[in-house]
Amino acid sequence: MSIVKVEKLQKKYKDMTAVDGLSLSVGEGEIHGILGPNGAGKSTTINCILGLVGYDAGEILFEGDKPLRKWNRNIGYVPQDLAIYPELTPEENISFFCSLYGFSGSELKDRTAKALDFVGLTDVKNKKASEFSGGMKRRLNLACGIVHSPKLVIMDEPTVGIDPQSRNRILENVRALNEGGASVLYTTHYMPEVEEICHRVTIIDHGKVIAAGTKDEIMGLMGSDTELVTEFMPESGDIGLFTQKVSQLDGVHKVTRDGDKCSIRFAKDSVVIDRIIGITLECGLSVSNMTRQDPSLEEIFLSLTGKELRDGKGGK
């Protein structure tokens, strides 16, 4: 069953179409990644799901047939921009957000304590949030969004601008939430995060779905290609002649050179490796390393959109 289903969503801001007929479905118990460059429409899609902005067309339903107004208490939101009070302590911040869901007394204290422990902030629970590092603030932001034990956690670029150690801690938290029964909708433009934690992925650009499916299914969009990366010993032969001859082989689709390294993309079912080795010898080249590998999600995104993911703070 889908925990949330978006059908043909459309949102315009005056003359600019931010979301253009977008459809996606987050299955119960999965981590679903929305991947796209800054400005692709990720945050606008999230804001529509949350009811923070209206939309011009389409439908958003939860657990099959429930509208947002009957289901919104089941959602936890971890926004891209920090939603914490810097002059309050972590304990005060988390307790406040938990109280908005009607919790009080011993249950409020218990939930606050568990959320602090979950993100590793128990030891600093009485310090002001303004004294925290960027990574600690991000973890507090997460705790405030999940303290009420939501069925669906929506995370909008939760690791922007933090160090690798803090990012890894948040990814561990996401996996733990999922293992505890929560479904997660996770937007990002960091490719390694998608490859590491997401079960399914929706790739969007210019407000439209470019591709969707499991990681293996999206990998399959590159067809039956594989890649041979060959590194040559410096000044051991004629690499220019090598690339010229290899690019003319049947089954070879692309040859790129970077100094003493060549990447050769070819059909998996073609018999070209023996010919590549032969050409290597003909050109007087000595191989220092040769690796065969399938395309990465980064390469697939570039192939599908014609652009690389742009780094930096996420756009709308």
pLDDT tens, N- to C-terminus, the chain (316 residues): 899 999 999 999 988 999 999 999 999 999 999 988 778 899 999 999 999 999 999 999 999 899 999 999 999 999 989 999 999 999 999 999 999 999 999 999 999 999 999 999 999 999 999 999 999 999 999 999 999 999 999 999 898 888 888 899 999 999 999 999 999 999 987 878 888 899 999 999 889 998 899 877 876 665 567 888 999 998 888 999 999 999 999 989 889 999 999 999 888 767 888 899 999 999 999 999 988 876 666 777 776 766 665 543 434 4
Q: Which residues sit opposite 24 in a β-bridge?
A: 6
Which residue bears the tokens 């938290």? 173
**Helices marked H in the chain:** 42-50, 90-99, 105-118, 134-146, 164-179, 191-197, 215-219, 239-247, 273-282, 297-305
Token pair for 65: 């047939």
- Contact at 8 Å (CB) between 300 and 309? no
Domains of the chain, each with CATH number or no CATH: 2-220 (3.40.50.300), 224-291 (3.30.70.100)
Question: Could you give the angle at the alpha carbon of 106 between the alpha carbons of 103 and 111, nearest 5°?
Answer: 60
| CA pair distance 48, 231, nearest whole angstrom | 49
Q: What is the pLDDT of residues 206-244, one digit of tens each?
A: 899 988 998 778 766 655 678 889 999 988 889 999 999
Has this prediction a pTM greater than 0.85?
A: no
**SS3 category, 66:** strand
Please state, in angstroms and as integers, the Cα–Cα distance from residue 282 to each residue in 54, 133, 163, 253, following that order: 65, 58, 48, 21
Q: What is the pLDDT of residues 68-118, one digit of tens each?
A: 999 999 999 999 899 999 999 999 999 999 999 999 999 999 999 999 999
Q: Which residues sit opposite 187 in a β-bridge?
A: 34, 156
